[in-house]
């Protein structure tokens, strides 16, 4: 405090009315340092400010010191708002002093006002400014004073509504208008900005003569020598045009708007980029322009009176050439910002005048050839607005260019083009077809955009009933021609065409009787993809009901109707979906049998995709079924692959090894499906067993000379089947062949032919057998410790689902490159029921390697007891084949030494 006091000392002496006393710069800067330092005490601040204020009148002879003192005060005002009022009231008397003093006071006032919150700023100004003062300052010969008072006024006018006024609206406008004639361009610009601000703030409250008067001044200034004055003037012309367009003033509005429009058009050829941008922005604001003038802005040539009878000749002579070709110049501009702005305003006017729209579409379409992406997007946006307003009249010549956009490099452009297509009205069937084809090309090139493309196709079909019906009939013919197994509709193009065909019947219930029934049933398996694309438009349940209703698939409505799950898909709905998927899977069998390996694979892949999409919304119970199907489809994929190999065996080199690998995979996949689910129906169990018989048949035919072991195994499976239900043709045939001791290989094809895929429809109420593993206190960052060579313990949390007490479960632990270690899990140690068993136990891992760190893969496996032949796998491990029940977990170990 003492130090502060000593600093304040020279200032307080200023109270001494010694006229010779002068502030020196040192004391001023000390005062400044005190005021700006946040830790200065309030008292010191007050006394510093007071002494500064007291010294002000004495400083009036020294303008430099005074302005410095004022700027120190102005700087401190924002930090200490409580002082603002006292500073303001003491500088009030100085405002009419010398030129330099007044300008310093004004700039101090401005900085105080701008630093205040909300209304305080302008109320401070209201307290010291009045009309006479403002007028006398505004007419000062000194630039600095004029510029500062103008800036103060611009500041105030922005807060005009919320503060007391020290000027009437009229005086304010007059002062601004006067400044528009100032010789300093900066002041002219600020004055125009002030007027714009005034017009925007007072928008509805002003009389129409104010914008008219502003307009007159602004038009006088659009030819100004300074670029930024022209920018501001053009902006104001646009604003006035906008306001006058909205106001009712009894004047010939169209004539007035035409004049304003042509005036702005004349700025479209300005040499300054900023002016041109502003000009096109302003053009977009002027509404109610006559067609003749608008048309003129699209033509560089002066249009004659033949154009619509009433021509622009009526306008004053000078303004006629101004509008000529303004938009042409805009969209040809060198700078993309100008082109963009021109494009936007072109779009605005095109929406309002049909005649103009017809002409401007040529240019907007030509802009699709522009090298700047943002211009293309802006043009698309304008086209979209025109389409939405129904004033887009597409001609054939445009379509080539437009459809090219669907395969554009930029995804935004593609998206924009599709958005327009959703609303577009196409004049001809050929154009419709080529549009659909381009969308399909889009889909093939960018499959990730499927949802958007499907939605566009759907909208397209909906908007063109006749055309889509035509396409539907063609498609139905095509489907009829192709054989049952040839499921080309797995192709994206087929799916896309189907979407077009079902669109119009679906949305309006029209065309339903005309649309071939077969299309609806073909659309059912695509339900997931279609409903994803139509999210928000149609409920998935509705969609399915609709498709089923109109397809030739038999179903009971009560299967679906009773409860429509609000979230996700209801169980019943899921069941019906699954029913259709299982039917489709059945179809896939016919492909495999028909040796259409590639088609079958494609088809199965698309089935998988469907399943993935559906399972996103599915309930827990449904997921089990879907999981079963995805496993089942994997098996089918493998069978299809093996089948292909067998077929090609005669023609190309035959790799027994690759067959074995595939067969091994198939075998393990079948094991997995058998031991991952419980609660089979008889039919399903039979089917799975038959599949495993099929695997044996494959193995059999590969081995050529079957071992007795194989035969025994086959026979035991057949007897097992016999025990469950009566034998199918397939099993009977195998039995017969074995009994006759004839080669299975020779009859592989005939065997396959009799194999039937049934039973899948009964996949219901299955429960998954699965296990969850959790390793306690271990992750890759904090590994468990071990002493190399000694056993290490792993604490595990194990949860088992749907295991029976007869199941034999093992914990499988393996270190890369070593033999695995199995630990038997005694189910009696687990707590809980058959549905969920839980247990936490410390499992030892014996063979820790002699290295610094290692990781173990841990998972729970189940022994496949019904695999009838015994294989000695491990000395201390399972005697039968195993299949995994849990996800593999990694357990990290690091040696005690390395810690």
Could you list the residues that contact other proteins (CB under 8 A)? 139-141, 177-178, 181, 225, 269-271, 300-301, 321, 324-325, 328-329, 331-336, 362-363, 366-367, 369, 371-372, 404
- Return all residues near 500 (Cβ < 8 A) that are at least 6 apart: 436, 457, 458, 460, 461, 468, 471, 472
Minimum separation from the CB atom of position 589 to other proteins (A): 42
Return the structure tokens found at 369: 């050839």
Q: Assign residue 594 a region: left if phi > 0, alpha if psi is -120 to 50, beta otherwise?
A: alpha
- Nearest CB to other proteins, comparing residues 350 and 574: 350
- 438-to-379, 380, 433, 470, 536 alpha-carbon distances in Å: 20, 17, 9, 18, 25
Sign of torsion over alpha carbons 691, 695, 698, 703 = negative
Nearer CB in complex with other proteins: 194/528 = 194
CB of 528 to other proteins, least distance (A): 35
DSSP letter at 168 equals -
Comparing CB distances to other proteins, the nearer of 270 and 807 is 270
Buried b (16+ CB within 10 A) or exposed e, 16-33: eeeeeeebeeebbebbbe
Q: Which is nearer to other proteins, 301 or 816 (CB)?
A: 301
Identity of the residue, 181 or 789, whose beta carbon is nearer to other proteins in the bound complex: 181
User: Parallel, antiparallel, or unpaired: how do β-strands 792-801 and 836-845 relate?
Assistant: antiparallel
Q: How far is the CB of 360 from other proteins (least distance, A)?
A: 11
Nearer to other proteins by Cβ, of 225 and 781: the residue is 225
d(CA 798, CA 619): 24
Tokens of 78: 């924002």
CA 546 to chain centre: 30
Residue 772 DSSP class:
E
Smallest distance, other proteins to C-beta of residue 386, A: 18
Count the neighbouring beta carbons within 10 Å of the beta carbon of residue 249: 12
User: What's the closest the beta carbon of residue 371 comes to other proteins, in angstroms?
Assistant: 6
> Among residues 192 and 324, whose Cβ is nearest to other proteins?
324
Strands 784-786 and 889-895: parallel
Rounded Cα–Cα distance for residues 608 and 614 (Å): 10
**Shortest Å distance, C-beta 896 to other proteins:** 57
Instruction: Give the shortest CB-258-to-other proteins separation in angstroms.
Output: 19
How far is it, in rounded angstroms, from Cα 807 to Cα 804?
6
Residue 825, both tokens: 């899990």
Rg of the Cα trace of the chain? 43
**Nearer to other proteins by C-beta: 213 or 839?**
213
In whole angstroms, give the CA distance from residue 236 to residue 220: 11
Min dist CB 317 to other proteins, Å, is 8
Q: Which residue has the tokens 């490099």?
A: 409
Nearest distance from C-beta of residue 300 to other proteins, angstroms: 5
Between 49 and 315, whose beta carbon lies closer to other proteins? 315
Q: In Å, how far are 293, 580, 581 from 299, measured between CA atoms?
A: 10, 61, 61
Alpha carbons within 13 angstroms on the beta-carbon side of residue 525 total 26
Question: 819: exposed, middle or buried (C-beta count within 10 Å: 0-12, 13-18, 19+)?
Answer: exposed
CB of 403 to other proteins, least distance (A): 13
Cβ of residue 455: shortest distance to other proteins, in angstroms? 27
Q: Whose Cβ is closer to other proteins: residue 50's or residue 373's?
A: 373
| Of 326 and 588, CB closest to other proteins | 326
Smallest distance, Å, CB 369 to other proteins?
Answer: 6
Contacts of 371 (CB under 8 A, 6+ apart): none
The C-alpha atoms of residue 215 and residue 209 are separated, in whole angstroms, by 10
C-beta of 346 vs 769, nearer to other proteins: 346
In angstroms, the CA 48 to CA 56 distance is: 12
Identity of the residue, 177 or 670, whose beta carbon is nearer to other proteins in the bound complex: 177
3-state secondary structure labels for all residues of 720-763: HHHHHCCCCHHHHHHHHHHHHCCCCCCCHHHHHHHCCCCCHHHC
User: Angle, nearest 10°, between helix axes 169-179 and 209-221?
Assistant: 10
Closest approach of other proteins to the CB of residue 426, in Å:
22
Nearer to other proteins, 300 or 847 (CB): 300
Coarse DSSP helix, strand, coil percentages of the chain, rounded to the nearest 5 percent: 65, 10, 30
Q: Is the dihedral of CA 775, 781, 786, 789 positive or negative?
A: positive
CA angle 388, 390, 391 (to 5 degrees): 115
CB of 225 to other proteins, least distance (A): 5
Write out the H or E segment, with its range, that includes residue 821: strand 821-825
Distance of alpha carbon 857 from alpha carbon 139, whole angstroms? 89
327: alpha, beta or left, given left = phi > 0 and alpha = psi -120 to 50? alpha
Residue nearer to other proteins on the CB measure, 412 or 561: 412
Q: Which is nearer to other proteins, 183 or 726 (CB)?
A: 183
Minimum distance of other proteins from residue 408's CB (angstroms): 9
Q: Which residues pair with 331 in a beta bridge?
A: none
Residue 219 CB, nearest approach to other proteins (Å): 16
Nearest distance, CB of residue 445 and other proteins, angstroms: 13
Query: Using CA atoms, how far apart are residues 696 and 447, in angstroms rounded to an integer?
Result: 40
Q: Which is nearer to other proteins, 317 or 897 (CB)?
A: 317
CB nearer to other proteins: pick between 102 and 803 = 102
Alpha helices per DSSP H over 94-226: 99-115, 120-128, 131-138, 143-158, 169-179, 185-202, 209-221
């Amino acid at each position: 405090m003492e130090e502060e006091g000593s600093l304040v000392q020279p200032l307080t002496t200023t109270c001494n009315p010694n006229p010779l006393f002068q502030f020196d710069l040192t004391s001023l800067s000390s005062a400044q340092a005190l005021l700006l330092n946040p830790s200065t005490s309030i008292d010191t601040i007050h006394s510093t400010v007071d002494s500064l204020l007291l010294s002000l009148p004495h400083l009036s002879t020294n303008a430099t010191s005074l302005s410095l003192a004022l700027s120190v005060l102005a700087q401190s005002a924002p930090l200490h708002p409580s002082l603002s009022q006292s500073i303001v009231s003491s500088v009030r008397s100085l405002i009419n002093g010398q030129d330099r003093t007044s300008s310093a006071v004004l700039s101090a006032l401005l900085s105080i006002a701008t630093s205040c919150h909300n209304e305080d700023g302008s109320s401070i100004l209201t307290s010291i400014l009045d009309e006479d003062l403002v007028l006398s300052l505004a007419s000062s010969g000194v630039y600095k004073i004029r510029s500062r008072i103008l800036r103060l006024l611009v500041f105030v006018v922005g807060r005009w509504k919320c503060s007391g006024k020290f000027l009437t609206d009229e005086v304010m406008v007059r002062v601004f208008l006067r400044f528009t004639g100032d010789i300093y361009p900066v002041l002219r610009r600020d004055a125009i900005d002030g007027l714009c601000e005034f017009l925007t703030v007072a928008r509805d409250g002003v009389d129409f003569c104010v914008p008219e008067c502003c307009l007159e001044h602004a038009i006088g200034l659009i030819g100004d020598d300074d670029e930024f004055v022209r920018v501001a003037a053009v902006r104001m012309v646009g604003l006035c045009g906008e306001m006058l367009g909205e106001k009712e003033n009894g004047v010939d509005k169209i004539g007035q708007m035409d004049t304003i429009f042509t005036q702005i058009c004349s700025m479209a050829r300005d040499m300054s980029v900023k002016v041109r941008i502003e000009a096109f922005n302003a053009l977009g604001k002027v509404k109610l322009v006559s067609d003749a003038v608008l048309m003129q802005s699209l033509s560089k040539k002066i249009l004659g009176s033949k154009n619509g009878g009433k021509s622009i000749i009526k306008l004053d002579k000078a303004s006629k050439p101004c509008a000529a070709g303004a938009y042409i110049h805009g969209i040809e501009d060198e700078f993309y910002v100008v082109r963009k702005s021109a494009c936007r305003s072109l779009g605005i006017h095109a929406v309002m005048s049909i005649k103009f729209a017809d002409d401007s579409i040529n240019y907007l379409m030509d802009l699709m050839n522009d090298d700047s992406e943002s211009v293309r997007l802006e043009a698309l946006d304008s086209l979209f607005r025109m389409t939405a307003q129904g004033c887009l009249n597409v001609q054939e010549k445009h379509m080539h260019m437009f459809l090219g956009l669907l395969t554009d490099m930029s995804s935004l452009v593609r998206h924009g083009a599709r958005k327009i297509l959703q609303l577009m009205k196409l004049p001809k069937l050929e154009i419709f077809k080529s549009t659909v084809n381009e969308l399909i090309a889009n889909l093939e090139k960018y499959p990730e955009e499927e949802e958007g493309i499907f939605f566009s196709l759907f909208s397209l079909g909906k908007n063109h009933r006749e055309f889509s019906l035509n396409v539907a009939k063609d498609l139905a013919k095509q489907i009829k021609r192709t054989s049952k197994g040839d499921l080309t509709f797995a192709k994206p193009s087929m799916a896309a065409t189907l979407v077009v065909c079902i669109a119009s019947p679906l949305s309006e219930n029209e065309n339903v009787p005309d649309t071939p029934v077969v299309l609806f049933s073909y659309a059912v398996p695509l339900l997931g993809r279609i409903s994803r694309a139509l999210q928000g438009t149609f409920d998935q349940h509705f969609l399915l009901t609709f498709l089923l209703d109109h397809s030739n698939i038999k179903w009971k409505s009560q299967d679906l109707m009773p409860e429509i799950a609000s979230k996700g898909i209801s169980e019943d709905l899921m069941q019906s979906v699954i029913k259709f998927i299982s039917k489709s899977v059945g179809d896939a069998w016919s492909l495999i049998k028909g040796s259409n390996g590639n088609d079958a694979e494609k088809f199965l892949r698309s089935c998988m995709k469907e399943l993935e999409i559906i399972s996103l919304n599915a309930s827990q119970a449904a997921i089990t079924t879907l999981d079963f199907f995805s496993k089942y489809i994997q098996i089918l994929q493998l069978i299809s692959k093996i089948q292909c190999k067998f077929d090609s065996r005669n023609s190309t080199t035959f790799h027994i090894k690759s067959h074995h690998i595939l067969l091994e995979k198939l075998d393990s996949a079948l094991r997995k499906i058998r031991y991952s689910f419980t609660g089979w129906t008889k039919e399903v169990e039979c089917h799975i067993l038959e599949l495993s018989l099929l695997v044996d048949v494959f193995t059999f035919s590969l081995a050529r000379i079957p071992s007795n072991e194989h035969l025994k195994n086959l026979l035991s499976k057949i007897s097992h089947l016999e025990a469950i239900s009566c034998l199918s043709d397939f099993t009977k045939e195998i039995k017969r062949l074995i009994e006759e001791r004839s080669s299975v290989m020779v009859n592989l094809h005939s065997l396959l032919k009799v194999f039937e895929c049934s039973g899948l429809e009964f996949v219901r109420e299955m429960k998954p057998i699965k296990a969850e593993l959790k390793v306690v206190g271990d992750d890759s960052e904090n590994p468990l410790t071990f002493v190399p060579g000694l056993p290490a313990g792993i604490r595990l949390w194990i949860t088992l689902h749907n295991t029976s007490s007869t199941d034999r479960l093992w914990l499988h632990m393996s270190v890369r490159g070593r033999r695995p270690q199995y630990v038997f899990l005694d189910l009696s140690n687990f707590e809980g029921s058959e549905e969920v068993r839980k247990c936490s136990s410390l499992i030892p891992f014996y063979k820790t390697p002699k290295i610094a760190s290692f990781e173990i893969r841990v998972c729970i496996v189940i022994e496949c007891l019904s695999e009838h032949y015994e294989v000695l796998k491990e000395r201390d491990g399972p005697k039968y084949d195993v299949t995994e029940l849990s996800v593999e977990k990694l357990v990290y170990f690091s040696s005690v030494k390395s810690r």
